[in-house]
Amino acid sequence: MELVTPHIPPQPAAPPSRLNNARVLKVELGARSYPIRIGKGLAANEAAFPEAQGRALRVITDSNVAPVYLAPLLAALHIGDDQVFVLPAGETQKTWDSAGQVLDWLLASRLSRDGCLIALGGGVVGDLAGFCAAIYQRGIDFIQVPTTLLAQVDSSVGGKTGVNHARGKNLIGAFHQPLSVIADTSSLSTLPRRELLAGLAEVIKYGMLADSLLFEWLEANLDRILALESNALAEIIERCCAIKARIVGLDERETGSGPRALLNLGHTFGHAIETHTGYTQWLHGEAVAAGLCLAADLSARHGWITEAVAARCITLIQRAGLPTQPPPGMTAADFRDLMGLDKKVQNGKLRLILMRGLGDAIISSDFDASLLDSVLHDACSAAG
């Protein structure tokens, strides 16, 4: 069902030359394996979408992305704009009610079970559209076309879909793998600067948790990224997706003991910040950036990494123009309360992702609670 289009005459494969400029990775998940295609202009190139050919298609996007990228995509896919649902932009749209509206529209548009959704946008659109694909008529195919750096290196790969809840982020959702992921680097040229930087937080995260060479490459080449140099962007997207694809291939559904949880480095703190600020003031990547600093600090206080390594992490995050402290006014008690409900709580014991080296993260509930308290207290005091 997920990967097969049973009743469509096979199309001739697109000549490989037409995608010569694309880098292609594969997420290995048996019957649910899929390609990630990375390159300039792919979202406007029919040849990047062989999985969509001959299918009934619907596009979900948002009000920021639609004016810029929708028309070229529709032209590439030969579909009309009556097959598009445009959400208002923003994380506040990633709700149960919005999902209900998308499902109402899909049903009104009479998309059948063998149809295919296309998510064109950032993480909010991808997570929400993916969740709708997961539960529309018990699951239909979908294709991710991420238009933000954050979505290209993280949220569009791996099959996590879902919506937020007043009690926390992504508390309702499903694992549902896409048919393919099409990461068009040219979409980063119109991305607001603040969102580009927020995506960089996840890139730095990959370096911190799994790839010291990537981390050092970022230290040396940060300016090329900030100048939007095309090859540099493609390089980090490919490198991050390769890490994520490998980890997701080992642990598709994030079992308690599996490596996928490592990708949440900084996220338990970050989710608490996002919940505390109501999802409206901080971008996800900004909250993760501050969370990465807290995780590095806590790791250093345990002696698991040196203070010099923690300082390099915090410095790189600062150079990228990202926050290194919690929001002003947030207290250690706020963190404790909000982290109590986090999905990483198992049998009442909080588990955190921490570092034991540059490019080497672990899942641990074996940390010193008083050190956690002092990290939170110091960070919140410094933030004011």
| 352-357 vs 180-184, strand pairing mode | unpaired
Does 137 contact a second copy by CB under 8 A? yes
Q: Rule CB under 8 A: is residue 67 a binding residue for a second copy? A: no
Q: Quote the Cα angle for 258-264-269, to 5°.
A: 135
Q: Which is nearer to a second copy, 123 or 162 (CB)?
A: 162
Number of residues that bind a second copy (CB under 8 A): 46
User: Which of these, 83, 89, 149, 160, lies nearest to 124 by C-alpha position?
Assistant: 89
Q: Nearer Cβ to a second copy, position 5 or 187?
A: 5
Binding site as annotated, residues for Zn(2+): 202, 267, 284
Residue 7 binding a second copy, by CB under 8 A: yes
Going by the DSSP 8-state scheme, the letter that residue 157 receives in this structure is S
Choices 1-9, 193-201, 230-238, 287-295; region in contact with a second copy by CB under 8 A: 1-9
Residue 349, strand partner residues: 346
Distance CA(144)–CA(183), nearest Å, equals 8
Among 24, 174, 311, 371, binds a second copy (CB under 8 A): 174
For residue 8, the minimal CB distance to a second copy (Å) is 8
- Tell me, what amino acid is at 215? F
For 284, other C-beta atoms within 10 Å of its C-beta total 27
Query: Does 168 help bind a second copy (rule: CB under 8 A)?
Result: yes
d(CA 345, CA 339): 8
Distances (CA, A) of 2 to 47, 113, 179, 324: 21, 10, 8, 41
Which residues make beta-bridge pairs with 26?
Answer: 35
Exactly one of 41, 72, 90, 139 binds a second copy (CB under 8 A); which one? 139
Query: Which residues participate in the annotated binding site?
Result: 123-127, 147-148, 160, 169, 202, 267, 284
Among 40, 94, 160, 267, interactor with a second copy by CB under 8 A: 160
Q: Smallest gap, in angstroms, from Cβ of residue 237 to a second copy?
A: 25
249 touches a second copy by CB under 8 A: no
Single out the segment in contact with a second copy by CB under 8 A; choices: 42-50, 103-111, 185-193, 324-332. Answer: 103-111
Q: What does the chain come to in residues?
A: 384
**Dist. CA 58–CA 84, nearest whole Å:** 6
- Examine residue 257 and tell whether it contacts a second copy (CB under 8 A): yes
Distance CA 113, CA 118 (A): 14
Q: Measured from the CB atom, is 17 or 110 closer to a second copy? A: 110
Q: Is 122 helix (H, G, I), strand (E, B) or coil?
A: coil
Check residue 10 for interaction with a second copy (CB under 8 A).
no
- Measured distance CA(245)–CA(210) in Å, rounded: 12
CB 161, min distance to a second copy, A:
8
Smaller CB distance to a second copy: residue 111 or 188? Answer: 111
Amino acid at 49: F
Segment 82-101, which members bind a second copy (CB under 8 A)?
A: 96, 100
Query: Half-sphere exposure (CA, 13 Å, Cβ side) for 278?
Result: 2
Which residues are at the interface with a second copy (CB under 8 A)? 1-2, 4, 6-8, 96, 100, 103-104, 107-108, 110, 112-114, 131, 134-139, 160, 162, 165, 167-168, 170-175, 253-257, 340-341, 343, 345-348
